[in-house]
Structure formats: C-alpha cells, structure tokens
Amino acid sequence: MILIELLQALLLLAGVGFFLVGTLGILRFPDVYTRIHALTKADNLGLGLIVFGLLLGADSVPVALKLLLVWGLALIASATAGYLVARAARRRGVRPWKARNWENG
Amino acid sequence: MTWLLEAVAVLLLVTLALGLIRIWRGPTIADRMLAAQLFGTTGVGLLLVLAELQQLPALRDVALVLALLAVMAVLAFVARVWRQESQDATEEGPRE
C-alpha cells in the first residue's frame, strides 16, 4: 500500500514538474513554433502523469475511465491545436526563429 | 496523501499565474492563444486533483467540459480570427 502511494506521489510531482517546465518554455522560448513545442509537452505528458497518479487512487472503474477519457481528449486537442496554429502561423508568414539572430543579438 | 494533493494543487495554481504573464506580454495574438490553451490544460489538471482532494466527483465532469472548450477556443481562433486578419494583410509568406 505504501508502495502505491509512493508511486502516486512520484507521478503527481513529475506531472507538476512538466507543467512548470512547459510554462517556463512558454515564457522563455523566442517564437510561436518553439512555444508550440513547449505547450504540447506540458499538455500531453504533464496531464498524462497527473492522470496516472490519480488513477492509482481511483475508487471505481467508471472514475478511472473518466480520467482516461479526459486525458485522451486533451491528447487529441493539443495535437490538433498545435498543428493548426503552426500551419496558420506559417501561412501568415511568421518566420521561424534562427540561431544566428541569437548570436548577433 | 492529502497534503501532497494540496501541494500539487498549489503548484498548478502557481503555473497558471506564471502562464498569465505570456498572455499579457505575448507579441502576437497566437502566443496569447497558446498560453490560453496551456491555461486550459493546467486548469483541467487542477480540477482533477481537486475532485480527488475534496471528494467532489462532479469536478471531473467540469474538467471534461473545460478540456473540450479549450480545443474549441483554439479551433475557432485559427478558423475565424486569424484568417480574417490575414485577408487584410498582404500575402508574402515564405513558400517552400
């Protein structure tokens, strides 16, 4: 029993860590494309780890299934949104960030 | 176990607050939209944790609806807002 709680704590903290790193990426990355990269990692893995952490303490099967449903929805949502925003940015002519800009400035 | 869930909820709130900085400063409207989507996903995680913490199963349904609404917001943004703006601008995007 203590092992399950330990695993749960580990998963939850890892999920929060992914959310923190993803938010840091949203704040620190230079352009839209790299921010999409940070966002989808936080969405998929952060929420996934939190869901799996809560799954270990779920009371019944329907609750567990609902948790998995929320995660699946978030997976599809972030993949679709990331692709659509990247395509719209490219069509509008947003230039991808280049490393030499960083070296010069 | 409860203190851990509380700590997780507080940390998620902190990330929510940090994400607001990007919504405030974001150079383009797309950056604001991406930060808003991160806001939505973090909110979903927070609601799931709170449902477990406070023994309120209804919050899981709220999380489900919030996850759905977050993607609808991004879809509407890409399909409507950004496209209408780009029709006004000149089309000189890089083609490859």
Flag whether pLDDT at B34 surpasses 60.
yes
For chain A, the domain total comes to 1
Rounded Cα distance, A69 and B48, in Å: 12
Write out chain A residues lying below 8 Å of B22, CB-based. Answer: 26-27, 35
Q: Say if A99 falls within a structural domain.
A: no
Residue A52, Cα to own-chain centre: how many angstroms? 14
pLDDT tens digit sequence for A8-47: 999 999 999 999 999 988 888 888 888 888 888 888 899 9
Among candidate residues B14, B51, B50, B21, the one with its CA nearest the CA of residue B36: B21
Cβ(A15)–Cβ(A46) below 8 Å: yes
Q: Say if A102 falls within a structural domain.
A: no
Q: Say if A101 falls within a structural domain.
A: no
Nearest to A54 among B14, B18, B48 (CB): B48
- Cβ burial, residue A53 (10 Å; 0-12/13-18/19+): buried
Rounded Cα distance, A8 and B71, in Å: 28
- A12's tokens: 């939850």
Domain around A44? 15-91
Would you state the pLDDT for residue A12?
A: 92
pLDDT tens digit sequence for B73-91: 888 888 887 766 655 554 4
Percent of chain A with pLDDT over 90: 30
Would you state the pLDDT for residue B93?
A: 46
Is residue B42 within 8 angstroms of chain A, CB to CB?
yes
